[in-house]
């Protein structure tokens, strides 16, 4: 009866794989411009640099947009519990300061939850001058504000492929033309395909559902490449959107892919952990 | 009927006797450490419960890779996603047997070696691990420190990596075993 060898013992410690939350549906909190369902890990501080060059159709004289029309956002984002995060940022074009809140409502797991849902709410404030050529642009302080709310639903189908559907609503307090509407509704799709352990191709598209302006604006569309090197993630991409905040890229993308109105862009994310130890609980 | 009960009694006794030789972990802590340029990597797993048979010195452990807790959430994600590939290889197991004769009536620490197989990341390798055994107050304490070479287990560190990771990881193991109930 005492002949139990280690293999029999192993059967005793055998365990069914426990219910596990699906992690890393996307590499970072952004895909290209669009937010993903990802929220930073516990006590993580993310410093983000997002940069977009000018339109490629400016031609060789402007080095296909590298010389001019750049837009940059510097952002600082934090999560304490890995479920709720907030961030602030400053974007050069339109001098926008943005702040957002993001919350993981549901998390996909290997038992019975097939999807992840994250909620997003952001506010944007422009610091442009009130008067431009003695024309008063911003009558009231509230004219400087815009807002965006989003619901993001994603599924990681396997370790390579993830898909997300985004529902977004943007409200702009002050629109460029008197005939413009203040609200825009967007349905977006975001996908990533990892072709090696650390590299992925990404794609995003935002379809605007309502007609809010007579000025021709275009749906935001981007394709990109992600590479991860430890604490950094580099994202290089092409997109027709100059704007880096939700109110801009969803609603006011002024150029389109058909005439090379696209630009080269990159995001760099550096994550710092603000925690000494984790396992002493 | 009478014989039947005696037989049952004997069987119960026999089972009790066998069970007394089996020890399960009351406490267990597995941690590993790796020196890196920017941030050292260390992780701890406290939920794994190994089993030990004191009668013949056999030992088995099965540790869930996702149960390793890291200081940095991002590192934990990288560990599971890029290095150990937890989705494909969810467990690390070790099964082995103590080579020496252990004196369970002594309360002093005894140096032991355990020979067996360490299985992780889809690679099965024979290992002999050194450690100490302490039998005290009906408990058995096993302690060990050993190294794992990443290339042995086909765990690749890419060359463009900014956080250069040491090729050898130090594993620390501690468990307090108590007789199995029932």
> In chain A, how many domains are there?
1
- Specify the CATH number for the domain of residue A69: 2.40.160.40
pLDDT tens digit at each of 281 positions of chain A: 344 576 777 777 766 667 888 889 999 999 999 999 999 999 999 999 999 999 999 889 888 888 888 999 999 999 999 999 999 999 999 999 999 999 999 999 988 899 999 999 999 999 999 888 888 889 899 999 999 999 999 999 998 999 999 999 999 999 988 999 999 999 999 999 999 988 999 999 999 999 999 999 999 999 999 998 876 889 999 999 999 999 999 999 999 999 899 999 999 999 888 876 544 43
Domain coordinates of chain B in residue numbers? 22-179
Query: Looking at residues B2-10, what average pLDDT do you find?
Result: 57
Interface of B with A in 156-175 (CB under 8 A): 158, 160-163
Q: What is the dihedral of CA B150, B156, B158, B159, to 10 degrees?
A: 60
- Residue A178 is part of which domain span? 24-273
* Residue B110 C-alpha, separation from nearest chain A C-alpha, in angstroms: 21
Q: How far is CA B135 from CA B24, B48, B54, B59, in A?
A: 14, 21, 10, 15
> Residue A27 and residue A164: Cα distance in Å, rounded?
13
B58–A4 CB contact, under 8 Å: yes
Show residues of chain B in contact with A82, CB under 8 Å.
73
- State pTM to two decimals: 0.83
> Quick one: which of A228, A158, A242 has its CA closest to A197?
A228
Pick one of 2.40.128.110, 3.30.70.1400, 1.10.3720.10, 3.50.50.60 as the CATH number of B22-179: 2.40.128.110
> Residue B111 and residue B171: Cα distance in Å, rounded?
18
| CA angle (A25 as vertex; A225, A276 as ends), nearest 5 | 100
CB atoms under 10 Å from CB of B23, counted, come to 22
What is the per-residue pLDDT for A136?
86
* ipTM value > 0.95: no
Interface of A with B in 120-159 (CB under 8 A): 159
């Amino acid at each position: 009866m005492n002949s139990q060898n280690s293999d029999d013992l192993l059967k005793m410690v055998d365990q069914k794989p426990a219910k596990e939350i699906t992690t890393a549906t996307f590499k970072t909190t952004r895909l290209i411009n669009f937010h993903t369902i990802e929220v930073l890990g516990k006590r993580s501080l993310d410093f983000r640099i997002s940069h977009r060059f000018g339109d490629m159709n400016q031609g060789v004289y402007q080095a296909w947009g590298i010389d001019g029309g750049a837009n940059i956002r510097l952002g600082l984002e934090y999560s304490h519990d890995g479920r709720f995060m907030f961030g602030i940022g400053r974007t050069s074009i339109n001098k926008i300061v943005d702040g957002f809140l993001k919350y993981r409502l549901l998390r996909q797991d290997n038992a019975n939850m097939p999807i992840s849902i994250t909620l997003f709410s952001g506010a944007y404030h422009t610091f442009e001058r009130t008067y431009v050529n003695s024309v008063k642009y911003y009558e009231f302080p509230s004219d400087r504000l815009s807002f965006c709310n989003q619901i993001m639903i994603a599924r990681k189908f396997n370790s390579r492929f993830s898909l997300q559907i985004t529902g977004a609503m943007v409200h702009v307090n002050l629109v460029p033309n008197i005939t413009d509407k203040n609200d825009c509704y967007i349905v977006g799709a975001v996908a990533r395909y990892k072709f090696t352990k650390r590299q992925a191709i990404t794609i995003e598209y935002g379809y605007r559902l309502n007609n809010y302006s007579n000025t021709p604006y275009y749906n935001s569309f981007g394709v990109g490449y992600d590479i991860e090197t430890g604490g950094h993630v580099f994202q290089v991409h092409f997109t027709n959107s100059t704007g880096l905040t939700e109110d801009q890229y969803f609603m006011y993308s002024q150029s389109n892919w058909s005439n090379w109105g696209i630009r080269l862009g990159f995001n760099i994310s550096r994550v710092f952990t603000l925690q000494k130890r984790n396992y002493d609980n | 009927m009478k014989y039947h009960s005696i037989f049952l009694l004997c069987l119960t006794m026999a089972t009790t006797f066998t069970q007394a030789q089996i020890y399960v972990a009351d406490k267990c802590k597995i941690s590993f450490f790796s020196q890196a340029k920017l941030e050292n990597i260390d992780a701890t797993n406290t939920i794994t419960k190994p089993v030990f048979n004191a009668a013949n010195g056999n030992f088995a452990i099965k540790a869930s890779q996702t149960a390793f807790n890291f200081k940095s959430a991002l590192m934990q994600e990288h560990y599971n996603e890029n290095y150990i590939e937890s989705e494909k290889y969810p467990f690390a197991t070790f099964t082995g047997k103590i080579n020496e004769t252990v004196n369970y009536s002594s309360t002093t620490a005894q140096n032991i070696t355990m020979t067996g197989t360490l299985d992780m990341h889809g690679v099965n390798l024979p290992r002999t691990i050194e450690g100490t055994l302490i039998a005290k107050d009906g408990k058995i304490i096993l302690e060990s420190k050993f190294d794992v070479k990443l290339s042995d287990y086909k765990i690749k560190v890419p060359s463009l990596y900014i956080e250069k990771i040491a090729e050898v990881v130090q594993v620390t193991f501690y468990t307090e075993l108590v007789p199995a109930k029932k």
